[in-house]
Each structure stands twice: as C-alpha cells, then as structure tokens.
A and B are shown apart, each in its own frame.
Chain A
Amino acid sequence: MRVAVTCLQNRLPHPTRCTAQQADAAPTLSEVFPVRATDGAAPAFVAAHVTRAARGPVLWIQDRQSIRETGRPYLAGFARPPEMLCLVVSRAVDVLWAMEQGLGCAALSAVVGEIWGNPPALDFTASKRLALRAEAHGVPAWLIRRGAEADLSAARERWRLSSLPSLTDPDDPRAPGRPQWRAELFRARWRTPGDWVVRHDAGTGEIVFDHGVARPATIDETGRQAAG
C-alpha cells in the first residue's frame, strides 16, 4: 500500500509544487510547442531540465530554419553550461536520424532536437521510435517544435510554453527580473495534465511549478508604472 502511494505520488505530482526531480523521473521523449516562435521560453525550459543533472555532453540538433529564425544556443546564457555538441542539418529527416543516433549513446545526458513546422517525416512512427529509444537507453529526448500544429505523436509529454512578464528585480524596478513561463502540459502519459507558472532558480537549478496562470499583482503594478 505504501509502495502504491509512493508510485502514485511519483506519477501524479502535487500540482502546486512539483519539483523537477519528479518531473522527469524516467527519461523519455517530450515535445515542447512554443506559442510564439521567437519566444525564448521553450529553449530555456528545455535547457533548465537538461542542465539540471548533466553528467555528460548534451547533443543539440537544429534544422536550418530554426537556427535562422531563433539563433543558436549561447552558452554564456546557461546558468550551468553543459558540455555541448551542436549539430546543424538542413532537413527534418536528418534531425530525426541524428537524434536516434544520439539516443543510442548512453554517455550523453540529453538529446535536444529543434524542428520547424510539421514535416511529413515527423509522424507517429518517427516519434514512437524516438520515445522507445530514449526509454531503452535512459537518455532524455526533447523536441522543440516551432510553428507547428500539435498533431499525432507518441511523445510521452507534450508542453505548450510561453513567456510571462518577469518578476520584479529587487534592485531596479524598471528592469526585467527573474523569468517566468507559462507551461501547459496538455498531454502526458504518466501524470495529470495541467497549467502552471514555472520559475527556474538558476542558483540551485530547481524548477518550481506554481499554480495559476494569472499575472501576479506586483507585476501589474510595475508594468503600469513602466508604461506610465
């Protein structure tokens, strides 16, 4: 009974405060859909997960369209820069092939792919292959899909990410402070979908899922202050 309760807790984390250790207990394939393509929330959310327990290099694969529209990863912006292997390929098929190769290498700590739009190559079968391979070798896989519809996919978790106005900087009320994102888990295999305000503590690497998506009052005030 006790075991069952623990399992249940693991599977269904408490919605108000889900620590990141529980968020990806078993490495698997997750998809992230940014609401706006140029928004930095999705790569930051993935980077926060990936670098939290980076024990080996991270393989980061981008297709041409993604790198042209949203740039390349910049390690100075990572709170804990991992050892990074960056691959730029031209087609979505090549992203999938390289991801599959990377997932077979257990020395990697994560594989991240960025695919623009809904290419025909990324169908249910392809995503299922990635998911099974990630689970078999214990390497987490992340797919960032910009400008894409959330069509049929075997990804175990599917997120929708957007930036929220940041917290107030205690030193400078006019400056952007610590970032906040709105994360909507709209499909999950192991836990209940939900809608959170997510903060990332760069110091400890902890990812804090807070309930509610309304803008905090302090932000509103400062926002009005800045606008006025």
Chain B
Amino acid sequence: MSREDKLPVLATLPRPARHQTEPDRTAPADLARAIAALREAEAAITAPAPRDGGDLPRPNRTETDDTDFTPVGPPRPRWRAGPDAPSDMGAARPGRAGVAAGAVAPPGDRDPLARRFLSLHMPDFAIERWQRHAARTNAELPQDIPHALAMEGPHGPVIHALNRAARLAGIELGARVVDMRALVPELRLDYADPGGDAAALERLMRWCRRWCPWTVVDGLSMHGAGVVMDTTGSDHLWGGEAAMLRDIEARLSALGISAQLAIAPTRGAAWALARLGGVRECCAADELAARMAPLPVAALRLTGETRLLLQRLGLKTVGDLAAVPRLSLARRFSRAALPENPLLRLDQMMGRLAEPVASPDDPPRFAVQSQLSETVMDPVPLIPGLCAELCEGLAAAGFGARRITLTIYRSDGEVSEAAAATSQPSRDPAHLARLFEGKLDRIDPGFGFDLITLAASQAEKMTTAQARLDGGPEAGPDTGRLIDRLSARFGAQALRRPAMRESHIPERREAWAPAMAGLPRRPEPAPRPRPLRLLEPPEQVTVVHAVPDGPPAQFIWRRQTHRVTRYAGPERIAPEWWADRPGTRLRDYYRIEDHQGARFWIYREGILGDGRGGSPDWFIHGIFG
C-alpha cells in the first residue's frame, strides 16, 4: 500500500460518501462524518506503520498505545507523524515543504513544552484607564451610567470601549455611535485615546517585570489589551504558579485593572486559556492537548475570515482541527500568512513551532550624583560638573536629554528638586547648565545638603549631524536652544507657536501650541482680508446703526466714540454645528474705518428674529494694520 492513500486532501473528503446521496459539501454533519470515517481508516492503516520520523518533538514522553486513538486524547496524536513520513514529497515540492516543515520542532533536544508562559488579558483596559484618570481629576462617573469611548471610523465614530452598565444596556463594541445612541439615549460618550493606551500598556508591561524579567506586549485592540510573560523558573519566587497568579490579579485590581490570567506551556495555549478558559488556569504540559481540544477555534488567534472558513468546514473546536490530517491543512493553507493559517497557529499552540518572548530592553537611564563630604548651601557651583558628567554618559550612548531633573537631598532629610526640559535632544553641558538659571531660587537648601543628583529623566536618540560646511550658526539647534531657555524661564505655556487648524471661525483657525511640542504646520495666507491683531476675547461695543440689520454708523468702544466713515461687509461666518453648542449664533463681520483712520473688524452676533436670543450684540474682534 502506498503512503499517498492515507493522505487525502480536504477537498476530496466527501468522496467516500458519493455512492449514497450527493452530499452538501458545506454541511458540517456530513463533513464531520466523513472526517470520522477517514480518521478511522487512517488509524487502521497507520497503526502498524513504523515511526520513521526520528526527530520527534517530545522524545521524553512515554509512548502511549497508538491503537486507541481518539481525536483529542493522546498527548502525541497521530497526525503528528504525517509530514515526517513523505520525505520524498517534501524534497520534490519545496514550496509546500515550507508549511509542512512547521511540524518540525525547534532543533536541539530541549523539551519545547518545558517553558511556562503567562498570558495576561485585560478586556477593559481602555475604559478602566479612562476611569482611573477621571478618578484622579474628580470627574468620575457613577458606575450605573452607561459610558463608552468612541473612535473615528470610516463612517463616523464607532464604540471602542464600554463600561459594564453600557454592556448590560445592550451596547456593542464596534457598533456605530449613532445607532447605539438611538438604543440608549442616556449614553455618555468620550473619545478614546489609543496612543495613550499604548503608552500605558507599555508602562504596565515594564511594571510587570517585577514578577519575571521577560515580558512583552501582546496586542491592543478594542477587545482588550494583553501582556505575555515567560515565567519559566520564576514562579517559585512567588510561592508557585497559583500564588503568583493570585498576586498578579490582586495587584492589578488594586490598580483598577480587571485581568484574566492563565499559565500554559506555550504562548498560544496561554493566550487561549486566558481569554476562553477558566479563572486563573494553570495548564500542565501533559494535559495540554486534552485541555485545548474543547476550546473553539477562536482560541487560535486567527482572523475573522479564517474563523468563518473553519466554521463552514465544520471545524468548530481545536480538537476538530487537530483531527484533520496534517497534510490536508498544509495543502489548503499553504499560502496563508500566520494569522490566517490554522496549521501554524495550531503548531504554535501545541509547541511544535517555537514562539519565544522577545522582551524589549529597558530604556537606558542616565543619572549622575555627587556625594559631598560636608554640607553645602549653594548648588550652583556643582551644576557645570554634573552636566558635563551627564553629557559624557549621554554622548557615549548616543542619546540626548529632553528633560533633566536636579534633586537635592538635604541633611535634614528633605528632598527638593528642579526640572528643565529641552525642545530638541541635547547633550551640550553649557546649554543644560543654563537651563537651571533662575530655577534654583525656588530650591530651599535649609541647613545645607550633602547629596545632589542630576538625571536625564527623558532621553532620546540623538545623532550628530553637520548642517553647514562653513561653520556658521545652524538654525535648528540655535532656535531649539532659545526655545529651551525661554521655556525654562517663563514656563512651557508662555512661549507658543501658532498651530493651524481647519476651521473658518477666526479664533479657532490659529490655536496656540507650546513651542516645546515641536514644529506645527506652516500657516497659509487667508483668502479674505483678515486683521493683523485679534482681541481675545472679543470686546462688546455699543453700536448706533441706521438700519437694524445694516452696518454700524457709530460705535462706542472703551468709552470712546468712533464714527464709521467706510465699511465693507458683511461677511457672514456661520457657527460650526459639529463643534459649537446648539444655539450659537452666526456672526456678520464688517471691516470698518473710523474718522481717525483706524480700521477695525467688528461683528454682530446673530440677526434679529433668528430665534436664538434677543436683539443681537456687537463685538470688536480685530484691528487692521
């Protein structure tokens, strides 16, 4: 008997049943029956066959009886031997061998299931982060009010995260906000902050290194955030795996984060158990296959389309999929990428495909200190030396400081500090030292201090670049230093740059952003005449006009009467209904010139009888040159 007989492809599965009625290929019951029949036939054929694949992944396992095969049962199921057998076929078709080779365990004689992975799933990470922030700013909502976070979708905002009350009210993730508002009119809505969530998850991942050194972020989506930890050999420090899981859960709940945890021998299995398994589940290596088999195929980290495809094929659980002959899956999914390939995902789950935790390094820390032999009152003479030392360290690592903190430890135990920031990464000692000018007055040395530290609390990669060959001043660094100095002296909010926005409301067109934040868009000249100066806020004026909705004839501003000699307008600027509160009135702008030649930009807010208030008021908004 040739070996090809026992390796049917999935497309030919219904063939044994053809002599009966013509089966519907997508009928799961028929398919399952066909699979079962095929499996029995295969088991009967291959049971006496010698196992020629010498490099079995788990050589230390005790060999179980191959005859009593069950789809979920034995730790080393039959379909493992599949691709090992046709070695000639693998040589003939290297394209398919790539997928089939996934079954080969990582080289070496180490047990691939000896590692322990902890998967941490935080289903409500975004909303819990929002609630924590709200609690800090005293803007907390009661728990029973439905509350959701939204994100811009292609057809308007969609629900990104929701609290328990909203979930109970029937709101769904990914649904459009307008639909959900119709369902629950009292829904409170805020905008999600995916960038902030990602940064918070990154910090949480580093914080999780208190339990084991290898942690990595494992996805952030509207369905929650994940962290994976390789806890091999570190659980005994916490009194065993169960105690460690309890400890992690307790500490996270103290932070206000609800978490689902599981430990398994592979990363894929831990992922599946954390999301679809029980509470704080620990899966041992020998019960891995048995534990995975009843889980739905959603446990395999597949895309939605692949899950749908498997559903149509009648493969509902991991066990069903595992029972399908390996080569059939390999042929069917030979060109699929990893998230769409059930075979590779199954291999990862079962430990046949290595999936190590590539834990990112901690960002480097730059800090210098000076231990003084006797107490000192004045920190100023020490700063240049500390800055020079810090900059040496920064230069050696190729970094530049964005934020530096000077901390003084007084002899009576008090600690005081001063901080400064830079708009571009810098490692120029003289520049960093100058940033503390005028800031050290606020430091109270008391009876003197004996320890002083200088730390670059925020550092960025900085490459050296030569912009000019003639040695003249370089525009970027020069301006950056000026911005640092002015911001250090007057505060980051005092020095601003205009940040252009898409808006036709005059004051919204130019928002002002701190100059430290970086270079905004270049302004474009406005198409219509606009004033050179804008009053903030607009000042109310008393106007005498000839006709009620006409231009002003005379107005009183700051107790001075201006007679209007010329005017142009009105230019009507309507409120932005998507940003303004309802009832905001439109503005009719006039460019006017008074009897002394001064030119102003004044507007009437609303028109008589627009139903949004009484008689309209007049305001002066700008001054022309």
**A163-B596 contact given A71-B534, A76-B525, CB 8 Å threshold:** yes
Is A80's beta carbon under 8 Å from chain B? Answer: yes
Cα–Cα distance between A119 and B160 once the two chains are bound (Å): 56
Contacts of A136 in B (CB 8 A): none
Query: Which of B478, B479, B623 makes the CB contact (< 8 A) with A71?
Result: B623
Query: Do A75 and B498 have beta carbons less than 8 Å apart?
Result: yes
Q: How far is the CA of A196 from the CA of B567 in the complex (A)?
A: 26
Contacts of B475 in A (CB 8 A): 56, 107
In the bound complex, do residue B486 and residue A87 qualify as a contact, i.e. CB atoms below 8 Å apart?
Answer: yes
Among the stretches B23-31, B188-196, B388-396, B507-515, the one at the interface with A is B507-515
Q: Is the interface of B mostly helix, strand, loop or mixed?
A: mixed
Q: Do residues B566 and A222 form an inter-chain contact, with CB atoms below 8 A?
A: yes
The verdict on B523 contacting chain A, using a C-beta distance below 8 Å, is yes
A61 to B593, CA, bound (A): 28
Report yes or no: A40 in contact with B565, Cβ–Cβ below 8 A: no
Instruction: Give the residues from 156 to 183 in chain A that come closer than 8 angstroms, CB to CB, to chain B.
Output: 162-166, 169, 172, 174-176, 179-180
A75 touches B568 (CB 8 A): no
Q: How far is the CA of A16 from the CA of B558 in the complex (A)?
A: 38
Task: Chain A residues near B625: list those with CB within 8 A.
Answer: 40-41, 43-45, 47-48, 77, 179, 200
Contact of A81 among B473, B481, B523, B529 (CB under 8 A): B523
Cβ of B255 under 8 Å from chain A: no
Interface 9-residue window, one of B220-228, B243-251, B339-347, B488-496: B488-496
The listed residue (A77, A108, A223) touching B532 by CB distance below 8 A is A77
**What residues of chain B lie closer than 8 Å to A85, measured between beta carbons?**
479, 483, 495-497, 515
Q: Is the CB of B534 within 8 A of A72?
A: yes
Given contacts A41-B625, A86-B498, A107-B473, A77 and B482 within 8 Å (CB-CB): no
Contact B597 A164 (CB under 8 A): yes
Expressed in whole angstroms, the minimum distance between the Cβ of A186 and any Cβ of chain B is 20
- List the A side residues contacting B536 at CB < 8 Å: 67, 71-72
> For A71, what are the chain B residues with a Cβ–Cβ distance below 8 Å?
533-536, 622-623
- Our pick among B510, B515, B529, B623 for the contact of A38 (Cβ within 8 Å) is B623
Cβ–Cβ < 8 Å partners of B593 in chain A: 165-166, 176
Interface residues on B, range: 35 or more
Complex Cα–Cα for A139 and B490 (A): 22
- Kindly provide the distance from the CB of A203 to the nearest chain B CB, expressed in whole angstroms: 11
Contacts of A163 in B (CB 8 A): 596-599
Once bound together, how far apart are the Cα atoms of A200 and B529, in whole Å?
A: 15
List residues of chain B with CB within 8 A of the CB of A84: 497-498
B624 touches A74 (CB 8 A): no
Give the segment of A19-27, A98-106, A121-129, A187-195 that binds chain B: A98-106
- Asked if B533 contacts A72 (CB within 8 A), the reply is yes
Closest-CB distance, B567 to chain A (whole angstroms): 7
Are B566 and A176 in contact (CB-based, < 8 A)? Answer: yes
Cβ contact within 8 Å between B479 and A105: yes
Structural contact, B479 and A89, CB atoms closer than 8 A: no
Known A-B contacts A73-B533, A101-B486, A163-B599; the reply to A40 vs B623 at CB < 8 A is: yes
Contact B623 A106, beta carbon cutoff 8 Å: no
Residues of A within 8 A of B490 (CB): 87, 89, 94, 98
Chain A contacts with B in 86-116, Cβ cutoff 8 A: 86-89, 94, 97-98, 101-102, 104-108
> At the interface, yes or no: B136 with Cβ under 8 Å from chain A?
no
Decide yes or no whether A83 CB sits under 8 A from chain B: yes
Give Cα distance in the complex from A182 to B506, angstroms. Answer: 29
Q: Which listed residue (B496, B510, B530, B597) contacts A166, Cβ 8 A?
A: B597
A75 to B497 Cα, complex, angstroms = 11
Check: A36 CB closer than 8 A to any chain B CB: yes
Contact of A74 with B512 in the complex, beta carbons under 8 Å: no
Whether the pair A76, B482 counts as a contact (CB closer than 8 A) is: no
Interface size bracket, A side: 35 or more
Across the interface, name the chain A residue whose C-beta is closest to B533. Answer: A71
Bound: A221/B565 CA distance, A: 12
CB atoms of A226 and B525 under 8 A apart: no
Q: Does A152 contact B (CB under 8 A)?
A: no
> Taking CB as reference atom, which chain A residue is nearest B507?
A74
A165–B497 Cα distance when bound, in Å, is 33
Q: Tell me, rounded to whole Å, the shortest Cβ–Cβ distance linking B506 to chain A.
A: 7
Task: Give chain A residues whose Cβ lies under 8 Å from the Cβ of B565.
Answer: 165, 223, 226-227
Give A169 to B476 CA distance when docked, in angstroms: 42
A9 contacts the other chain (CB 8 A): no
- Contact A77–B622 (Cβ < 8 Å): yes
> Is residue A79 within 8 Å, beta carbon to beta carbon, of the partner chain?
yes
Complex CA gap A106/B473 in Å reads 7
Judge whether B526 is part of the interface by a CB distance below 8 angstroms.
yes
Give CA–CA (A54, B296) in the complex, Å: 66
Q: Say yes or no: is A39 at the interface (Cβ < 8 Å to chain B).
A: yes
Which chain A residue has the least Cβ–Cβ distance from B591?
A176
Which chain B residues in 442-492 approach chain A with CB under 8 Å? Answer: 473-476, 478-479, 481-483, 485-486, 489-490
A162 touches B597 (CB 8 A): yes
Contact flag A79-B525 (CB < 8 Å), given A70-B533, A86-B495, A175-B566? yes
The answer to whether B479 touches A74 (Cβ under 8 A) is no
Residue pair B530, A74 in contact (C-beta under 8 Å) = yes
* A133 to B552 Cα, complex, angstroms: 48
Q: B497 contacts which chain A residues (CB < 8 A)?
A: 83-86
Q: Give the Cβ gap from B444 to chain A, nearest Cβ, in Å.
A: 23
Complex interface: chain A residues within 8 A of B533 (CB): 40, 43, 70-74, 77
Chain A 130-165 per-residue mask, 1 if CB under 8 angstroms from chain B, else 0: 000000000000000000000000000000001111
Contacting pair A36 B525 (CB below 8 A): no
Beyond A74-B532, A105-B481, whether A36 also contacts B598 by CB under 8 A is yes
Interface residues of B in 572-625 (CB under 8 A from A): 591-593, 596-599, 622-625
In the complex, chain B residues whose CB is within 8 Å of the CB of A108? 479, 482
B496 touches A86 (CB 8 A): yes
Assess whether A73 is in contact with B494, with CB atoms less than 8 Å apart. Answer: no
**What A residues does B515 contact at CB under 8 A?**
85
Chain B residues with CB under 8 Å of A200's CB are 625
Give every chain B residue within 8 A of A80 (Cβ-Cβ): 525
Q: Is B522 part of the contact surface with A, judged by Cβ < 8 Å?
A: yes
Cβ distance B265 to chain A, nearest Cβ, rounded Å: 59
Verify A169–B568 contact, CB threshold 8 A.
Answer: yes
Instruction: Identify the interface centre among B506, B599, B622, B625: most chain A CB within 10 Å of its CB.
Output: B625
Judge if B74 is at the interface, Cβ distance under 8 Å. Answer: no
Asked whether B485 lies within 8 Å of A101 as measured between CB atoms, the reply is yes
Q: Is B384 part of the contact surface with A, judged by Cβ < 8 Å?
A: no
A73-B532 contact in complex given A41-B625, A86-B512, C-beta closer than 8 Å: yes
Q: Are A102 and B482 in contact (CB under 8 A)?
A: yes
Q: Are A40 and B598 in contact (CB under 8 A)?
A: yes
* Among A74, A164, A200: residue with most chain B CB under 10 A: A74
Docked Cα-Cα span, A87 to B482, in Å, equals 12
Which residues on the A side are within 8 Å of B473 (C-beta)? 106-107
Give the residue name and chain of the A residue nearest to B479 (CB).
A107
Q: Is A15 close to B, CB under 8 A?
A: no
The 8 closest A-B CB pairs, nearest first, are A44-B625, A175-B568, A76-B526, A76-B530, A77-B532, A163-B597, A107-B475, A74-B534
Given contacts A71-B623, A107-B476, 4 further A-B contacts (CB under 8 A): A74-B506, A81-B522, A81-B525, A105-B482
Q: Could you name 20 residue pairs across A and B whose Cβ atoms are closer than 8 Å?
A: A40-B532, A40-B624, A56-B475, A56-B479, A70-B533, A70-B535, A74-B506, A74-B531, A77-B526, A77-B624, A79-B525, A83-B522, A85-B495, A86-B497, A87-B495, A98-B489, A105-B478, A165-B565, A174-B566, A179-B599
